[in-house]
């Protein structure tokens, strides 16, 4: 049985972009987990993408897989794209290439080298390409878009754009309170429905023709979609495709958690 995979950064300008990524002088280690390296993208780099998604920052699953938005947030967004008829023709990048540690200071967020490097990615994916819609996940991603839109290169690009609530904001904001989680999830899905209605007319080239079906008040079967095997590097084990929670930062304190990323093969894989 053949296994499709993402060949990676085999062509320019992505070869050079991956060779010239910024490090500690741009991403201070007290604000980012540099020790696990940068994570660049997920999806199509061959010019076939019709939708660009801007995320926030990678987490522990992305650290292992070396592709972004492969956990719960990624699967929720995969479901959102499917409602637009987009199952393959997309590309994801993040606002930050490294996992945020604590919070990002304004001086860092507005650092010209950080912004310029990210804008090089946006130029490569948008200028002269066939992207029809851009989706930003959360405030950091929206800010990244606004910085790029102010550049001369962006003036030649005309795409639909929507900023939405981050996919896992209900969990982070409710802090374990089930009542707050239900209310926050309902509010997020209302926000996503508005985004779908705004973007749908602009996404003319779809992978699967589909009628637009909006979300209800809570997640249901089909809203969370598995990430295609073709988005992952070659040889990645199947249990890393489908399961969330197999990678965890563990340790007695923050420093220990920075040092340790534990991977556990899920139950049912081993005899």
Spatial contact of 83 and 212, defined as CB atoms under 8 Å apart: yes
pLDDT digits (tens, 9 = 90+) for 211-226: 999 999 999 999 999 9
- Write down the pLDDT at residue 271: 67
Q: What is the pTM of this model?
A: 0.96
Residue 220: inside a domain: yes
CATH number of the domain to which 106 belongs: 3.40.470
The token pair that represents 48 in the structure block: 């076939």
Tokens 């540690």 locate to: 101
> How far is residue 144's CA from residue 135's CA, in Å, rounded to a whole number?
12
Within a domain: 176: yes
Residue 9 lies in a domain: no
- Is the model's pLDDT at 267 over the cut of 90? no
Residue 8, in any domain of the structure: no
**Highest mean pLDDT of the ranges 99-103, 165-169, 244-248:** 165-169
* Range(s) of the domain holding residue 75: 14-263
Task: Report the C-alpha gap between 159 and 38 in whole angstroms.
Answer: 28
Closest CA to 37 of 4, 6, 65: 65
Domain annotation covers residue 1: no
**Does some domain include residue 4?**
no
- 227 falls within a domain: yes
The pLDDT value given to residue 242: 78
Q: How many domains does the chain have?
A: 1
Residue indicated by tokens 């093969």: 265
Closest CA to 141 of 120, 160, 122, 113: 122
Reported as a pLDDT band with limits 50, 70 and 90, residue 182 is very high
């Amino acid at each position: 049985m053949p296994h499709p995979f993402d060949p990676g950064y085999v062509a320019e300008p992505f070869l050079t972009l991956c060779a010239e990524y910024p490090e500690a002088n741009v991403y201070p280690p007290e604000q980012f987990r540099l020790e696990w390296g940068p994570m660049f993208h997920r999806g199509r780099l061959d010019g076939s993408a019709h939708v660009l998604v801007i995320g926030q920052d990678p987490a522990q699953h992305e650290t292992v897989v070396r592709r972004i938005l492969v956990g719960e947030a990624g699967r929720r967004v995969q479901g959102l794209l499917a409602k637009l008829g987009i199952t393959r023709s997309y590309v994801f990048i993040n606002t930050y290439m490294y996992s945020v540690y604590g919070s990002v200071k304004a001086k860092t967020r507005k650092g010209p080298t950080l912004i310029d490097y990210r804008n090089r990615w946006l130029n490569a994916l948008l200028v002269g390409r066939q992207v029809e819609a851009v989706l930003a996940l959360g405030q950091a991603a929206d800010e990244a878009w606004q910085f790029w839109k102010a550049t001369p290169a962006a003036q030649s690009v005309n795409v639909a754009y929507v900023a939405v609530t981050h996919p896992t904001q209900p969990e982070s904001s409710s802090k374990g309170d089930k009542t707050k989680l239900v209310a926050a999830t309902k509010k997020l899905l209302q926000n996503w429905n508005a985004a779908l209605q705004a973007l749908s007319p602009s996404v003319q080239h779809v992978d699967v023709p589909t009628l637009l079906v909006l979300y209800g008040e809570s997640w249901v079967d089909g809203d969370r979609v598995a990430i295609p095997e073709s988005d992952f590097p070659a040889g990645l084990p199947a249990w890393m495709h489908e399961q969330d929670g197999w990678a965890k930062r563990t340790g007695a304190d923050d420093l220990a958690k920075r040092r340790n990323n534990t991977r556990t093969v899920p139950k049912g894989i081993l005899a």
